[in-house]
Structure 1
C-alpha cells in the first residue's frame, strides 16, 4: 500500500427530509444561487418546489439553468458561467444526478477562468478556484455528490473528457433515498452498473498489500448485487434505494482508491463510446466491462479474478482458478442482463465504423489503464468483442 492523504470533505445529510437543512447550509457560503437541473423531473416529483420554498423562506435569491443533458455539454457549461457572471452569483446548487452535478462543477470552475471552459476540461491544472457547490441527489450512479471529478462532452469535437480538482468537491450534499423512488427502471439499472464499474476499476489493480481496500470494495459490490434488482422490482423500497445511494458515494469518493496506483481502463473506452453515440454511460459500461475482463484475463491477472469470483460471487474456491475467473466474468455479464441492460453494442445499432477513432481517443495520452495497460489495438479488439 502506498502513502496517501485522506480527505473527503463533503458534509453529507443522509436520509428522509434532510432537505430541511438546505437554507441554513447555503447561507454559510452565499445568498445568490444558480440552480442547475436536467429535463424537469424534479418539478414533477416535487423536489424543485421544496427547494425553492426553502430558498425563498431564507431570502436566498436564485437563478436557473435547466435542460442539462445526460452527457452534459460544454455549451450548457458556457451558459451557466454567463448567468453566474452576469448576476454575480456566489453559489451553485445542483439538483439531479451526476450529469447535473458534473455540469455544475465545470460552471463553478469556469466562473474564475478567463478563457473558454473547455480548456479546464482538457487540462485540469488550469483550475485554480471554484464557486462553492452543493447537490441534492436524485440518482444513485456517478458519485459526483462526494468527489472532485466532472465529465463533460464537447458536442462539436465528439470528445468526452474527465477533469478534476479538490476545489470542485461539493461542500455539502443532501442524499434522500426517497428522491430516487421515481427513477425509471432503465436508469436504476444503468446507475447500478455505473456504481459497480467505479468499484471494479479500483478493485482490479496491481497494488500489493491493499487488503482493506479490496475487502471494502467487495462489500460494496455485493451490496449492488443484492439491492440493484430489488430497487428495479420495488422502486419505493427505501432500504434498497438507501443502500445503493450510499454505495454510489463510497464507490468513488476515494475511500477504496487511497493507497493504490491510479489508472482506469473501461471508463476511458466508454467515454469515447458515449461521445460518439450519446448512449447512457452505465449502459456502455455494462457492455464493455465483461469483454474487458475476458480480454485482460491471463496468467498474471487470474488470481485477481479468482479472488473476485470467490469473494463477490461465492464461487467454490476449490475449483481451478481459471474456471473461477471465467465463471465470475459470466456471472457479471448475466447480472447486467438480469438488470435489463443490453450486452452487445449491436443492440444499440452501433457498428465498427468509428472504432479506430474511438480507440485513438481513448489512448491519446498513452496506454490505457494500470491493471493491464491497453494499446490502441487492444481497445479496438475490446470494442469488436462487444459487438
Structure 2
C-alpha cells in the first residue's frame, strides 16, 4: 500500500430540492458580483417535478446580486472562445464568485476560467499564450476565483475534484488542467435534474464514470478495500443504468448513478494504490480532440481494445498482474470466468445498452490513426504507464477500434 496525502475541501449538498433550499445561503458567502456559466440552454427547460427551470430558479435566487452570464459552453469545452471569454468577463467585471450550472464540461471550463482569471496579472486579450500556459501546467495556478456549481449530469465527477479537461482546437490538444485551488467550494447535486437527460448523455456519463474507476483499478499496487469499493461502484452503475433506461424518472437509480460518478475522479476510490497512467483517457483525448466525439462513447470504444492489447502483449510479472486484474474485475462485476470473458463482458455491456462500439460508428475513419497515435505517444507519457504503451501499441489499439 503506497503512501498518500488526501484532502477534499468541497462541500457536497446532495438530494431532492437542495438547490431551492440552500443556494441563497451559500451564495451569500461569496460576494455580490456573480458570473453564471452554462452550456447550450437545457437549464432553461423545466424539469419534471419542478415549477420553474433551473435557470429561472438561479436568477430568482440571485436578485440581490450583480449577475453576468457566459452561456454556450460546449461539450469538450474549448479554450477559445469559452475559457478566454470567461477570463475576460472575470477581469472586466471584478467577479467575486463563479456559479457553474450544467454538466461536467461547463464545470471543467469554469475551473480553467477561475484559475486563469485568478492567476493572470495582465489582460487575457493581450496574453493568450500565458493563459494557455496556465491551463496546460507550464505555469502554476497561484490564485482562483471561488466556484460554486449545480451539476446536472452524472458523468465526469468534476463537482468533487480539482481538475478539468480543455480542448484547443487549432492545435488538436485536449489537456487535463489540475490545481488544488479550483476544487469547487460547494457542489449542489439534485438527481431530479437528470430525469430528462437524453439517453445518449446518460449512457456516455455512465461509461465515463466506469472508465474513471477502471483507470484506478488497473494498476500495480492495490488493496482489497479499494478493489471492493470500485467493483461495487461499477456493479451499481451497471444495475442502475438499466433501470434508468426503463424508467428515466426513477429517483433512487438516478441518485445511485450520481453518487458513483461524483466519487469517480477525486481519488477516493484508489487511496493507497499506485498510479496507472490513465491510458484509456489519454487515447480517447486524442479521438475527441481530433474529431470532437462524445468523450464517454470514445472511452467505451477504447476500453475493451486496451484490455485485450495489454493481455496479449504483456510479459513476465506484468502479464501475471494483467491477467489477475482483468479476471478479478470481470468475475466480481460481471460473473465472468476468465480474462477473455471479462473483456467480452465489458464490451457486450456497452453494446447492449446502446453505446456505439467502433470508431466508424462515431464518424472516425482510419485516415488519421497514425497521426493521433503519434500525438498520444509524444504528449501523454504512456511509455511510463502501469502497462506501458509505445506509439505502435497505441496505433494497434486504434486500429482494433475500427471493427
Question: Which category of TM-score, normalised to the shorter sequence, fits these structures?
Answer: over 0.9
Q: Which moved more, 1:269-278 or 1:233-242?
A: 233-242
Could you say which residue in structure 2 is the equivalent of 1:166? 180
Superposed, which structure 2 residues align to 1:147-226 within 5 Å?
147-208=161-222, 210-226=223-239
The answer on whether the counterparts of 1:265 and 1:368 sit within 8 Å (CA) in structure 2 is no
Deviations 1:125-177 (A, max 9, x none): 52111111111011000000000011000011111111101111100100000
CA distance in 2, matches of 1:277, 1:122: 20
The answer on whether the counterparts of 1:143 and 1:253 sit within 8 Å (CA) in structure 2 is yes
SS at match of 2:366: coil
Deviation of the 1:354 alpha carbon: 1.2
CA distance in 1, matches of 2:331, 2:79: 43
Tell me the TM-score normalized by structure 2: 0.91
Q: Structure 2 regions of 5+ residues with no counterpart?
A: 47-52, 122-126
SS at match of 1:140: coil
SS at match of 1:256: helix
Could you say which residue in structure 2 is the equivalent of 1:35? 36
**Residues 1:229 and 2:242 aligned together:** yes
Match of 2:107 among 101, 104, 115: 101
CA distance in 1, matches of 2:297, 2:330: 22
The answer on whether the counterparts of 1:265 and 1:369 sit within 8 Å (CA) in structure 2 is no
Could you say which residue in structure 2 is the equivalent of 1:319? none
The answer on whether the counterparts of 1:362 and 1:368 sit within 8 Å (CA) in structure 2 is no
The answer on whether the counterparts of 2:206 and 2:257 sit within 8 Å (CA) in structure 1 is yes
Could you say which residue in structure 2 is the equivalent of 1:68? 73
Could you say which residue in structure 2 is the equivalent of 1:312? 333
* C-alpha RMSD over aligned residues: 1.3
The answer on whether the counterparts of 1:73 and 1:155 sit within 8 Å (CA) in structure 2 is yes
CA distance in 2, matches of 1:124, 1:243: 38
The answer on whether the counterparts of 1:68 and 1:103 sit within 8 Å (CA) in structure 2 is yes
CA distance in 2, matches of 1:119, 1:154: 12
Give the 4+ runs in structure 1 shifted more than 6 A.
none
Tell me the TM-score normalized by structure 1: 0.95
Q: Structure 1 regions of 5+ residues with no counterpart?
A: 317-323
Equivalences, count: 377
Could you say which residue in structure 1 is the equivalent of 2:4? 4
The answer on whether the counterparts of 1:32 and 1:90 sit within 8 Å (CA) in structure 2 is yes
Q: Which moved more, 1:64-73 or 1:222-231?
A: 222-231
